[in-house]
Amino acid sequence: MNPVLKLLIEGGHLTTAQMAQVSGLSESDVDRHLEQLKKDGVFLGWRPVLDLSRESAGAVRAVIEVKITPERGGGFNRLAERLSRFDEVESCYLMSGAYDLLIFVTGPSLQRVAGFVSEKLSTLEGVLSTSTHFMLRSYKEGFFLMEAPSRENERLKVSP
Protein backbone atom coordinates (compact mmCIF):
# COMPACT_ATOMS: atom_id res chain seq x y z
CA MET A 1 0.00 0.00 0.00
CA ASN A 2 1.12 3.54 -0.70
CA PRO A 3 2.91 4.64 2.53
CA VAL A 4 1.14 7.99 2.58
CA LEU A 5 -2.25 6.33 2.20
CA LYS A 6 -1.43 4.19 5.23
CA LEU A 7 -0.71 7.30 7.27
CA LEU A 8 -3.88 8.98 6.04
CA ILE A 9 -5.86 6.00 7.34
CA GLU A 10 -3.94 5.64 10.63
CA GLY A 11 -3.61 9.27 11.62
CA GLY A 12 -5.51 11.53 9.26
CA HIS A 13 -4.69 14.67 11.23
CA LEU A 14 -0.98 14.72 10.42
CA THR A 15 0.34 17.61 8.35
CA THR A 16 2.44 16.77 5.32
CA ALA A 17 5.54 17.84 7.25
CA GLN A 18 4.64 15.42 10.04
CA MET A 19 3.88 12.67 7.54
CA ALA A 20 7.32 13.19 6.08
CA GLN A 21 8.91 12.79 9.52
CA VAL A 22 6.90 9.71 10.42
CA SER A 23 7.40 7.91 7.13
CA GLY A 24 11.03 8.93 6.71
CA LEU A 25 10.21 10.39 3.29
CA SER A 26 11.03 13.91 2.23
CA GLU A 27 8.20 16.42 2.13
CA SER A 28 8.35 16.51 -1.62
CA ASP A 29 8.04 12.71 -1.69
CA VAL A 30 4.93 12.95 0.48
CA ASP A 31 3.50 15.56 -1.87
CA ARG A 32 4.33 13.33 -4.82
CA HIS A 33 2.51 10.39 -3.19
CA LEU A 34 -0.48 12.62 -2.44
CA GLU A 35 -0.53 13.76 -6.06
CA GLN A 36 -0.42 10.15 -7.23
CA LEU A 37 -3.28 9.20 -4.91
CA LYS A 38 -5.27 12.14 -6.29
CA LYS A 39 -4.49 11.08 -9.82
CA ASP A 40 -5.63 7.53 -9.03
CA GLY A 41 -8.86 8.95 -7.66
CA VAL A 42 -8.22 7.41 -4.21
CA PHE A 43 -7.46 10.59 -2.30
CA LEU A 44 -10.18 13.10 -3.10
CA GLY A 45 -9.41 15.91 -0.69
CA TRP A 46 -9.12 16.98 2.92
CA ARG A 47 -12.35 17.17 4.79
CA PRO A 48 -13.03 17.67 8.49
CA VAL A 49 -14.94 14.99 10.34
CA LEU A 50 -17.97 16.68 11.90
CA ASP A 51 -20.69 15.62 14.26
CA LEU A 52 -23.57 17.48 12.63
CA SER A 53 -26.11 15.99 15.00
CA ARG A 54 -24.92 18.40 17.72
CA GLU A 55 -27.37 21.23 18.27
CA SER A 56 -24.67 23.86 17.89
CA ALA A 57 -23.84 22.58 14.41
CA GLY A 58 -27.22 23.87 13.22
CA ALA A 59 -27.56 21.20 10.55
CA VAL A 60 -29.98 18.47 9.66
CA ARG A 61 -28.96 15.29 7.88
CA ALA A 62 -31.06 12.69 6.17
CA VAL A 63 -30.52 9.45 4.29
CA ILE A 64 -32.79 8.95 1.32
CA GLU A 65 -33.48 5.68 -0.41
CA VAL A 66 -34.37 6.37 -4.01
CA LYS A 67 -35.81 4.07 -6.65
CA ILE A 68 -35.15 5.19 -10.19
CA THR A 69 -35.73 3.86 -13.67
CA PRO A 70 -32.57 2.68 -15.38
CA GLU A 71 -32.00 3.84 -18.93
CA ARG A 72 -30.91 2.01 -22.07
CA GLY A 73 -27.22 2.67 -22.64
CA GLY A 74 -26.39 4.34 -19.32
CA GLY A 75 -28.15 2.39 -16.58
CA PHE A 76 -28.39 4.49 -13.45
CA ASN A 77 -25.47 6.77 -14.19
CA ARG A 78 -27.11 9.78 -15.80
CA LEU A 79 -29.65 10.28 -13.03
CA ALA A 80 -27.18 9.49 -10.25
CA GLU A 81 -24.67 11.98 -11.61
CA ARG A 82 -27.35 14.60 -12.01
CA LEU A 83 -28.57 14.13 -8.44
CA SER A 84 -25.03 14.22 -7.11
CA ARG A 85 -24.58 17.75 -8.42
CA PHE A 86 -27.00 19.25 -5.92
CA ASP A 87 -25.19 21.06 -3.10
CA GLU A 88 -27.45 19.42 -0.54
CA VAL A 89 -26.12 15.99 -1.51
CA GLU A 90 -23.12 14.88 0.58
CA SER A 91 -22.78 11.40 -0.87
CA CYS A 92 -24.61 9.28 -3.38
CA TYR A 93 -24.22 5.52 -3.87
CA LEU A 94 -25.70 2.95 -6.22
CA MET A 95 -26.85 0.04 -4.06
CA SER A 96 -27.91 -3.55 -4.47
CA GLY A 97 -31.21 -4.54 -2.88
CA ALA A 98 -34.61 -2.99 -2.41
CA TYR A 99 -33.75 0.48 -3.77
CA ASP A 100 -31.26 1.88 -6.25
CA LEU A 101 -29.61 5.00 -4.86
CA LEU A 102 -28.69 5.85 -1.29
CA ILE A 103 -28.25 9.59 -0.86
CA PHE A 104 -26.89 11.46 2.17
CA VAL A 105 -28.30 14.98 2.34
CA THR A 106 -27.42 17.91 4.62
CA GLY A 107 -29.27 21.17 5.10
CA PRO A 108 -29.63 23.97 7.65
CA SER A 109 -33.17 22.92 8.65
CA LEU A 110 -35.69 20.13 8.36
CA GLN A 111 -37.76 22.32 6.03
CA ARG A 112 -34.87 22.84 3.65
CA VAL A 113 -34.12 19.13 3.43
CA ALA A 114 -37.82 18.34 3.01
CA GLY A 115 -37.96 21.03 0.33
CA PHE A 116 -35.09 19.42 -1.55
CA VAL A 117 -36.83 16.06 -1.49
CA SER A 118 -40.25 17.32 -2.58
CA GLU A 119 -39.17 20.05 -5.02
CA LYS A 120 -36.03 18.70 -6.62
CA LEU A 121 -35.58 15.02 -6.03
CA SER A 122 -39.05 13.52 -6.41
CA THR A 123 -39.99 15.72 -9.34
CA LEU A 124 -37.16 14.44 -11.54
CA GLU A 125 -38.27 12.26 -14.38
CA GLY A 126 -37.10 8.72 -13.72
CA VAL A 127 -37.35 8.96 -9.94
CA LEU A 128 -40.00 6.42 -8.98
CA SER A 129 -40.07 6.80 -5.21
CA THR A 130 -38.14 8.17 -2.26
CA SER A 131 -37.98 7.22 1.38
CA THR A 132 -36.40 9.82 3.64
CA HIS A 133 -34.91 9.02 7.07
CA PHE A 134 -33.74 11.91 9.24
CA MET A 135 -30.71 11.24 11.39
CA LEU A 136 -31.27 11.79 15.08
CA ARG A 137 -27.83 11.29 16.56
CA SER A 138 -24.32 10.21 15.51
CA TYR A 139 -22.41 7.57 17.40
CA LYS A 140 -19.51 7.16 14.99
CA GLU A 141 -18.45 9.38 12.12
CA GLY A 142 -15.58 8.71 9.73
CA PHE A 143 -13.95 6.26 12.19
CA PHE A 144 -14.30 8.71 15.10
CA LEU A 145 -16.33 7.53 18.06
CA MET A 146 -18.39 10.42 19.42
CA GLU A 147 -18.00 9.52 23.07
CA ALA A 148 -14.44 8.23 22.86
CA PRO A 149 -12.84 8.61 26.28
CA SER A 150 -9.54 10.45 26.25
CA ARG A 151 -6.57 8.12 26.11
CA GLU A 152 -4.32 10.16 28.33
CA ASN A 153 -6.59 9.71 31.28
CA GLU A 154 -6.63 5.98 30.86
CA ARG A 155 -2.92 5.22 30.93
CA LEU A 156 -0.69 5.86 33.90
CA LYS A 157 1.74 8.64 33.03
CA VAL A 158 4.75 6.47 33.75
CA SER A 159 4.71 2.69 34.02
CA PRO A 160 7.36 -0.04 33.96
Partner 1 sequence: MKRFIARHVAGLPKSGIRDFFEIVAKKKDVISLGIGEPDFDTPWHIREAAIYALEKGRTHYTSNLGLMELRRAIAAYVESNYSVGYAPDDEILVTVGVSEALDLALRALLNPGDKVLYHQPCYVSYHPGVALAHGVALAVPTRADDGFALNVADLERAWQPGCKVLMMNLPCNPTGGTCDRAHLEKIARFAVEKDLIVLSDEIYSELVYECPHTSIAVFPGMRERTIFLHGFSKAFAMTGFRIGYACGPAQLIEAMMKVHQYSMLCAPILSQEAAVEALARGQDGVKSMREQYQRRRDLVVKRLRAAGLACRAPGGAFYVFPSVASTGMSDHDFAYGLLEKQGVAVVPGAAFGENGRGFVRASFATGYDQLVEACDRIERFVNTPAPCSAPSPS
User: What is the CB neighbour count within 10 angstroms for residue 100?
Assistant: 22
Chain Cα centroid distance, residue 122: 23
Query: Which range in 8-16, 27-35, 67-75, 82-90 contacts partner 1 by CB under 8 A?
Result: 8-16
User: What is the CB neighbour count within 10 angstroms for residue 27?
Assistant: 14
Binds partner 1 (CB under 8 A): choice among 39, 72, 137, 151:
151
Residue 133 interacting with partner 1 (CB under 8 A): no
What whole-number distance in Å separates Cα of residue 50 and Cα of residue 140?
Answer: 10
Among residue numbers 9 through 48, which ones bind partner 1 (CB under 8 A)? Answer: 10-11, 13-14, 18, 21-24
Query: CA quadruple 139, 145, 150, 156: dihedral positive or negative?
Result: positive
Residue 7 interacting with partner 1 (CB under 8 A): yes
Binding footprint of partner 1 on the chain (CB under 8 A): 6-7, 10-11, 13-14, 18, 21-24, 151, 155-160
